[in-house]
């Protein structure tokens, strides 16, 4: 399992109700359903991902996150998860608010644009970073709202959200001691557990 | 006519008739003392009797959903693209049952049957039906076939309403409900279209209060008009545009009212004409009324989530982007109620140009998901 997903599953209590925003092919939901008796729902817009989730027997709803979560009742989920999608939505601040209306707690992961490799690329080449991890060109990318650890925390602060846990990982290794020492520079992916 | 049957066809099939002597109490308060249901089955019922799938038909549908009645038949059953060996509703896995609903005109008891109380054809006196009546009668058929629990109940449009009603009325008797291009109740606009269709029939002088059989005539003009109106609502603006545009049948405008000038006029007239020759006017008004009356939330303080909270089934809900008869927003109402009721549900909004008719088309994305959903059902 993807390093960030492996950490997330540990944070999700057995038997809870989970909403996964941008659930992809359902990797996390499938694990949670099989190992944690979770009633999970995924929201997704990619047809192939939706078909894959349906074939796996997962609950998947075709829904565009940019249109909000108005159809979900307040406090109807224990945990709302959004992995690697924050940077791709039109209104990251609004979706964050919505996630914490619908769920008691939310777990968010995003690529850290403050990572040294991004900084190095930008400062030496003077161009928007393109890497194996973020392979898109600036004019043709689903990622329209990049942020750093510090940016995200500033948003949480402004919205008066409590950060319960924070981890920095890279794609392959789930515990980077160095990364957690200096996340904004050395963390590739930020994983946050947030509540009201 | 196929020169030989395709390998993925259920092949030659013959309808069967089940007779029921136990009276059926109807939602309107009247009862059917006895009735027949005509049905077809495809595939084999397994020894555990756990692989049965019920297909519910829509407004003008019937029991002949797949395969051919004979090698001379021009077209296979109405949902042949979806039902067969290796198809999304795979007859290698499932035992598929499709019946003609009560009130129909394809062999099941309906307006063209004899009313035992009078010894005459029911005609316009056939009891007005509600979707729940069909569900009760389908449950009796399930009893007869030895099916305690359906692996899935599947339907599009009015058929989807039956699938939903099944999950509410007989929650223990189905594992999955597949609700396609449907709605939790009709909108005022939907009812308005149905009313135009009904008035076209009822006001046709040949209708004779529904007893036209004894006058040796049919309300052909009325039925034709009703179908023409209906057909407009089945197609999207774009689908009609690309199919006909403003294309003319004649090389110039005639400046009269009787010529068939635009291609779309010709198409609608053909559809109406063809339909009026094969469908019963009384069945048509009954079916539209059942649509209008459908409102499962009504029995639960108008709360759809409360209605669907009865369900034990898992759901697959599918809508089509250009369907304006039962738009994606209507399917979303069903999905939201199911979410609210904490039911298992998946939802697809399939991008398709065909309008409401899309539910009968083998659209790859739609069929892939349907296949995937049904494949993973454990029997």
Number of domains into which chain B is organized: 2
**Residue B333: closest CA among chain A residues belongs to which residue?**
A71
- Residues of B belonging to the active site: 157, 323, 356
CATH assignment of the domain containing B232? 1.10.1740.110
B5 closest CA partner among B103, B102, B92, B73: B73
> Is B69 found in the same domain as B94?
yes
What is the Cβ-side half-sphere exposure of residue B90, based on CA atoms within 13 angstroms? 14
Please report whether residue B5 resides in a domain. no
Flag whether residue A77 sits within 8 Å of chain B, measured between CB atoms.
no
**Ranges of H-type helices in B48-103:** none
Per-residue pLDDT of chain A in tens (196 residues, 90 and over written 9): 777 888 899 999 999 999 999 999 999 999 999 999 999 999 999 999 999 999 999 999 999 999 999 999 999 999 999 999 999 999 999 999 999 999 999 999 999 999 999 999 999 999 999 887 788 999 999 999 999 999 999 999 999 999 999 999 876 666 677 788 889 898 999 999 999 9
Q: Which of B241, B271, B288 is where one domain is finished?
A: B288
- Name the token pair of A180: 């957690």
CA–CA separation, B250 and B311 (whole Å): 56
* pLDDT the model gives residue A59: 98
- What is the total count of domains within chain A? 1
Q: What is the pLDDT of residue A179?
A: 81
Q: Is residue A51 domain-resident?
A: yes
Q: Is residue A149 part of a domain?
A: yes
Position A172 scores a pLDDT of 67
Helix (H) or strand (E) holding B180: strand B176-180
Q: What is the mean pLDDT of chain B?
A: 96
Q: Is residue B38 part of a domain?
A: yes
Query: How confident is the model at residue A166, as a pLDDT?
Result: 94
B180 and B215 in a single domain? The answer is: no
Q: Is residue B10 part of a domain?
A: no
According to the model, what pLDDT value does residue A114 have?
93
Contact flag B375-A60 (C-beta cutoff 8 Å): no
In whole angstroms, give the CA distance from residue B311 to residue B314: 8
Domain assignment present for residue A129? The answer is no
Which pLDDT score is estimated for A134? 81
Instruction: Test A76 with B340 for CB contact under 8 angstroms.
Output: yes
Q: Taking the CB of residue B378, how many other CB atoms lie within 10 A of it?
A: 7
Nearest CA in chain B to A58: B346
**Structure confidence by residue, pLDDT tens digits, B194-227:** 999 999 999 999 999 999 999 999 999 999 999 9
Best to test chain B binding among A19, A50, A56 (most B CBs inside 10 Å): A50
Query: Measured between CA atoms, how close is B38 to chain A, in angstroms?
Result: 33
- Taking only the tens place, the pLDDT of each residue in B273-329 is 999 999 999 999 999 999 999 999 999 999 999 999 999 999 999 999 999 999 999
Is the ipTM, as predicted for this complex, more than 0.90?
A: yes
Q: Which domain holds residue B331?
A: 16-185+295-375
The end-to-end CA distance of chain A, in Å, is 29
Q: What is the pLDDT of residues B77-131, one digit of tens each?
A: 999 999 999 999 999 999 999 999 999 999 999 999 999 999 999 999 999 999 9
Q: Classify residue B340: in a domain, yes or no.
A: yes
B368/A51 Cβ within 8 A: yes
SS3 call for B291: helix
Given a cut of 80, is residue B3 above it in pLDDT? no
Q: Are residues B176 and B299 in the same domain?
A: yes
């Amino acid at each position: 399992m993807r390093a960030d997903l492996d950490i997330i599953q540990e944070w999700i209590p057995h038997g809870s109700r989970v909403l996964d925003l941008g659930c992809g092919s359902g990797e996390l939901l499938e694990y949670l359903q099989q190992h944690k008796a979770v009633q999970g729902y995924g929201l997704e817009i990619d047809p192939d991902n939706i078909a894959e989730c349906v074939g796996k027997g997962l609950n998947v709803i075709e829904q565009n996150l940019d249109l909000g979560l108005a159809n979900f009742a307040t406090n109807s989920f224990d945990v709302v998860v959004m992995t690697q999608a924050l940077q791709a939505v039109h209104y990251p601040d609004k979706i964050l608010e919505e996630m914490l209306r619908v769920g008691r707690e939310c777990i968010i992961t995003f690529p850290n644009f403050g990572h040294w490799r991004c900084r190095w690329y930008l400062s030496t080449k003077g161009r928007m970073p393109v890497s194996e991890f973020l392979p898109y060109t600036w004019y043709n990318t689903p990622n329209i709202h990049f942020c750093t650890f510090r940016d995200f925390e500033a948003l949480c602060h402004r919205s008066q959200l409590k950060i319960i846990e924070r981890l920095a990982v890279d794609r392959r290794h789930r515990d980077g001691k160095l990364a957690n020492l200096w996340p904004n520079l050395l963390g590739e992916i930020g994983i946050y557990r947030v509540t009201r | 006519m196929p020169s030989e049957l395709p390998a993925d066809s259920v092949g030659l099939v013959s309808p069967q008739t089940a007779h029921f002597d136990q009276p059926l109490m109807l939602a309107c308060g009247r009862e059917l003392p006895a009735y027949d249901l005509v049905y077809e089955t495809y595939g084999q019922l397994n020894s555990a009797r756990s692989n049965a799938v019920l297909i519910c038909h829509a407004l003008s549908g019937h029991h002949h959903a797949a395969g051919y009645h004979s090698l001379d038949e021009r077209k296979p059953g109405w949902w042949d693209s979806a039902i067969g060996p290796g198809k999304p509703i795979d007859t290698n896995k499932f035992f598929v049952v499709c019946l003609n609903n009560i009130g129909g005109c394809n062999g099941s008891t309906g307006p063209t049957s004899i009313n035992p109380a009078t010894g005459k054809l029911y005609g316009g006196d056939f009891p007005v039906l509600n979707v729940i009546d069909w569900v009760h009668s389908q449950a009796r058929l399930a009893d007869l076939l030895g099916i305690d629990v359906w692996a899935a109940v599947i339907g599009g449009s009015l058929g989807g309403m039956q699938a939903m009603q099944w999950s509410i009325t007989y929650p223990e008797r189905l594992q999955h409900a597949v609700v396609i291009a449907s709605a939790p109740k009709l909108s005022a606009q939907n009812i308005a279209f149905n009313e135009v269709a009904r008035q076209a029939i009822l006001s046709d002088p040949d209708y004779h209060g529904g007893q036209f059989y004894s006058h040796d005539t049919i309300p052909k003009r009325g039925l034709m008009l009703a179908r023409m109106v209906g057909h407009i609502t089945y197609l999207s603006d774009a689908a009609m545009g690309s199919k006909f545009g403003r294309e003319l049948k004649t090389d110039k405008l005639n400046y009269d009212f009787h010529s068939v000038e635009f291609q779309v006029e010709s198409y609608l007239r053909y559809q109406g004409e063809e339909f009026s020759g094969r469908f019963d006017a009384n069945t048509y008004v009954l079916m539209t009324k059942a649509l209008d009356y459908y409102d499962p939330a009504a029995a639960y303080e108008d709360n759809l989530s409360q209605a669907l909270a009865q369900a034990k089934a898992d759901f697959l809900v599918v809508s089509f982007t250009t369907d304006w008869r039962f738009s994606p927003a209507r399917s979303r109402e069903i999905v939201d109620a199911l979410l609210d009721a904490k039911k298992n549900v998946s939802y697809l909004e399939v991008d398709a140009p065909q309008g409401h008719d899309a539910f009968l088309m083998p659209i790859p994305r739609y069929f892939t998901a349907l296949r995937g959903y049904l494949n993973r059902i454990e029997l």
